[in-house]
Amino acid sequence: METDTIFKTKLDKSADFAFDAKVTKVFDDMVVRSVPFYLEVQRMIAEMAKDYAKPNTNIYDMGCSTGTTFINLDTVIAPSVGFAGIDSSSEMLAQCDLNLKSAGIKRKYNLIEADLNKSVRIENASVVVLCLTLQFVRPLKRSQLLQSIFQQLNPGGCIILFEKVLGESPEFNRQFIKYYYDYKRRNSYNEMEIAQKREALENVLIPYKLQENIEMLDGIGFHSIETYFKWYNFAGIVALK
């Protein structure tokens, strides 16, 4: 796994963050150093998915990146369940394919290059995962995407989200961001790396409040909406159709 040094040197112009070849190469290191409890959340996603993935259906991972979620899911999910990964980054999908092959995944899987800002097609899905992905979908398109997932999800199907979120109050939002940057410092990101990445993500990663995400799911018709994880400005939500 290559170490993430993308923002370590002073960049001349600030460009928006992109899931390109450079990021793909270091993504697995970047995500564990940037997202608190990332590996535990992956384990929890697999644990929950196991209980809702029905035989002979599919699990969709939207924004599957390098395939970490599938690799975890493969250890607990029945072989008759297919995997479908959607991502708009061809570099990520190529890496995902390599990782799934080297993990020895034998089940049927399909990796699809598609933009979640546009319409999405899912087939025979009992579980849909969006782990750190909805936050990158344009705000105006988010509700439409969730609506489309709701309509196409099998009855009784499960949606599992994990998102960076804003605090409900400006006061604690500020504090949570401070604690979050301390987390990054503890993981050996320096001040310039933190500042440059924040700037690059500014127009790209747009977090909602946890409550806003819950209300969006509720308004669409999902039920049994639960917060399964919360750490300052990160939250996991699970819900059923």
Ligand X SMILES: C[S@@+](CC[C@H](N)C(=O)[O-])C[C@H]1O[C@@H](n2cnc3c(N)ncnc32)[C@H](O)[C@@H]1O
Which residues would be at the binding site for ligand X (CB under 6 A)? Answer: 19, 31, 63-65, 68-69, 87-89, 92, 115-117, 131-133, 136-137
Secondary structure letter of residue 207 according to DSSP: P
CA 12 from centroid of its chain's CA atoms:
29
Dihedral, CA of residue 114, residue 115, residue 116 and residue 118, to nearest 10: -110
* β-strand partners of 234: 164, 231
Nearer to ligand X, 28 or 153 (CB): 28
H or E segment to which residue 165 belongs: strand 158-166
- Distance of closest approach, residue 155 Cβ to ligand X, in angstroms: 25
Are 227 and 236 within 8 A, CB to CB?
Answer: yes
Q: Cβ of residue 32: shortest distance to ligand X, in angstroms?
A: 9
Q: Which is nearer to ligand X, 118 or 174 (CB)?
A: 118
Q: CB-based burial of residue 95 (10 Å sphere; 0-12 exposed, 13-18 middle, 19+ buried)? A: buried
Query: Minimal distance in Å, beta carbon 132 to ligand X?
Result: 4
**Closest distance to ligand X from the beta carbon of 239 (Å):** 18
Q: 129: closest CA among 2, 236, 16? A: 236
Nearer to ligand X, 111 or 217 (CB): 111
**Residue number, 115 or 191, with CB nearest to ligand X:** 115
Angle subtended at Cα 58 by Cα 224 and Cα 229, rounded to the nearest 5 degrees: 40
Closer CB to ligand X, 69 or 233, in the complex: 69
212: which residues sit within 8 A by CB, 6+ positions away?
Answer: none
Indicate the residue among 75 and 80 with the shorter CB distance to ligand X. 75
Q: Closest approach of Cβ 186 to ligand X, in Å?
A: 20
Q: In terms of Cα–Cα distance, which of 97, 82, 164, 88 is closest to 127?
A: 82
Minimum separation from the CB atom of position 169 to ligand X (A): 26
